Amino acid sequence: MELGVQGVRNILIGLDMVRGEPIGQDAEQHVAQESTWPKTSMGGVMYNTCELGDVVEKGERLGVLKDPARRVIEDVRAPYRSVIFDTRFQPAVYPGDWTYHCGKIG
């Protein structure tokens, strides 16, 4: 949330609505020309192992889907080297639900 607040403040500074120096201008920016949303084949409870903005390698685990007894029933893995644009914050997953928004990076 702090990153979002900094971003809004930077915009206000850029529009001369508030005084100050922009923060975080040296942060690495990722641009993806392609993206996908890996989907689950089963339903269950999703446990994230990555966070927004993480850069992950192809095949790296993004999260695990567990059944009500907490047994792992499916691993969700990165389809390619990706930056994570979005994650599930609602843990309940149905078959075919999206899981993570993976932006393909070089």
- pTM equals 0.75
CA distance 93 to 72: 13
Three-point CA angle 52, 85, 14, nearest 5°? 90
8 Å CB contact between 50 and 87 = yes
Task: Summarize pLDDT for 70-95 with one digit per residue, the tens.
Answer: 999 999 999 999 999 999 888 999 99
Please tell me the distance from the alpha carbon of residue 86 to that of residue 99, in angstroms, as a whole number. 8
Q: For the chain, which residues make up each domain, given as ranges?
A: 32-106
pLDDT digits (tens, 9 = 90+) for 18-52: 999 888 777 778 889 999 999 999 999 999 999 99
Residues 106/70, Cβ–Cβ less than 8 Å: no
CATH architecture of 32-106: Beta Barrel (2.40)
- Residue 94 to residue 89: CA distance in whole angstroms: 14
